[in-house]
Amino acid sequence: MHILLASIAALWLLVSISTAAVTQSPEAKAQSADVAETKISDLKTVPPYKYNPIGKPDPFKPFIEQELSPKKKTESRTLPISPLQREGIEQFRLVGVSGDDHHRIAIVQDVKGKAYPIFLGTYIGKNSGRVVEILPDRIIVEEKGKAEDKAKTKRLTIKLRKDEVEE
């Protein structure tokens, strides 16, 4: 019942609006046409906008200035990444080696007695030495140095030493 009344009211409203538009007086139609003509003519007389960038910041430039030149690799290597790179290779002692022929892990100890695990590819020493081989009784570290426009590779060995029997 309510739906029927609502649809009748909507239909009546629609009919009344359409008849009001048709029965509009000729004077009202002329006034609305004049208003439309004046608005269009006013728009034609407005000068086009021109942007003057003098004294204004560039809207496409970032607020924070950044260097576009890439940083040198030597600067990133100046700070040691791990405690293993803070001391020379001679300061470390090989304590043990674990694993089989395919995958080995070595344990080195620094002067203070702190132990560190070593894997293949681990950086150790001040001269950016890298572990290239782990054998059952030693580890081999390769350091790259520059000498007279050539890259010179130096191989260092840290051997497993059996401690003397403690009393």
Mean pLDDT (the chain) is: 77
Q: Is pLDDT of 101 > 90?
A: no
Burial of 141 from C-beta contacts in 10 A (0-12 / 13-18 / 19+): buried
| CA–CA gap between residue 155 and residue 143 (Å, rounded) | 6
Q: What are residue 116's DSSP bridge partners?
A: 108
Low-confidence winner among 13-22, 77-86, 145-154 (lowest mean pLDDT)? 13-22
Please give the Cα distance from 163 to 148 (Å, whole number).
Answer: 41
Q: Which CATH architecture has domain 86-159?
A: Roll (2.30)
pLDDT in tens, 15-32: 777 665 555 566 666 666
Residues making up the chain, counted from first to last: 167
pLDDT per residue as tens digits for the range 25-54: 666 666 665 555 656 666 667 678 888 888
Give the lowest-confidence range in 39-43, 104-108, 109-113, 137-141.
39-43
CA distances from residue 3 to 7, 12, 86 in whole angstroms, order as listed: 6, 14, 85
